[in-house]
Structure 1
Amino acid sequence: MFGDMMNMMGKLKETQAKVEATKKRLDTVLVDESSSDNKLKVTLTANRTIKSIEIDNELLEDKEQLEDYLILTLNKAITKATQINESELAAVAKEGMPNIPGMDIYK
């Protein structure tokens, strides 16, 4: 019994280390998103950190339009980055979950 508990704790620590390594790796995974007319382009990491924004000069003439473009394009990029982030972290967590009766929600 005690050995099983120690084994489970070791596996949980190993999983935690894998989750942290995955988070670091996700800093290198880039998500690109553009407006439908390519006048605005953004790049985020899968950890949802903005890396770059490219704005067409035409958008600089209309503040409201630029704000709308930024909101729409950034939200699309954040959604993509979040999906990548959550699926990667869920895969690591699922792999490291011990077999506990009644806790099969991760399968």
Structure 2
Amino acid sequence: MRDLMGMMGKAKEMQAKMEAMQEEIASMEAEGQSGGGAVKVMLSGKFEMKKLDIDPSLFKEDDVEILEDLILAAHNDAKVKLEAEMQKKTQEMTAGLPIPPGMKLPF
């Protein structure tokens, strides 16, 4: 019975830590760049694009397709950075817990 109560306490503690981590992740931001900094994108921890900076030299009619590709590349760069930071924070929080391999957190 004591073990069950201990497990319940740890589960509540883990839930509180997860909620705090999710709030922290939501407030994170990452900047992605492409084209040598000609296109910059700022993403929130929820992968929402918050800011887009485009160097004015890219505004030429013939370069629209290139500009679109650069925006996508900058967005993906920021997303990769956020995902890496999320994984790092999750690993720090769950260090020492018996979590099955391949299980992704937060759910």
Q: TM-score scaled to structure 2, two decimals?
A: 0.77
Q: Structure 1 residues 72, 36: CA separation in 2 closer, same or farther (over 3 Å shift)?
A: same
Residue segments in structure 2 that go unaligned for 5+ positions in a row: 102-107
For residues 50-99 of structure 1, give each alpha carbon's deviation from its aligned partner in whole angstroms, at most 9, with x where no partner exists.
Answer: 2211112232322201111012111111111100011112221235x3xx
For residues 23-68 of structure 1, give each alpha carbon's deviation from its aligned partner in whole angstroms, at most 9, with x where no partner exists.
Answer: 1112222211222422111111234222211112232322201111
For the aligned residue pairs, the C-alpha RMSD in angstroms reads 2.0
Say whether the 8 Å CA contact 2:40–2:52 is kept in structure 1: yes
Once the two structures are TM-superposed, the CA of residue 105 in structure 1 deviates from its matched residue by 5.8
Q: Which protein has greater RCO, CA pairs closer than 8 Å, 6+ apart?
A: 1
Aligned equivalents of 1:93 and 1:49: distance in 2? 26
Which AA in structure 1 matches 2:22? K
Q: TM-score scaled to structure 1, two decimals?
A: 0.77
1:21 has 2:28 as partner: no
SS of 2:20's partner is: helix
SS of 2:76's partner is: helix
Say whether the 8 Å CA contact 1:46–1:84 is kept in structure 2: no
Q: 1:71 is matched with which residue?
A: 72
Aligned equivalents of 2:80 and 2:26: distance in 1? 16
Which AA in structure 2 matches 1:29? M
Once the two structures are TM-superposed, the CA of residue 104 in structure 1 deviates from its matched residue by 7.1
Superposed counterparts of 1:1-107, under 5 Å: 2-61=1-60, 62-94=63-95, 97=97, 103=98
Which AA in structure 2 matches 1:37? G
Percent identity reads: 29
Which deviates further from its counterpart, 55-64 or 22-31?
A: 55-64
Say whether the 8 Å CA contact 1:48–1:82 is kept in structure 2: no
Say whether the 8 Å CA contact 2:30–2:82 is kept in structure 1: yes
Which deviates further from its counterpart, 71-80 or 58-67?
A: 58-67
Q: Work out the number of aligned pairs and report it.
A: 99
Which AA in structure 1 matches 2:31? D
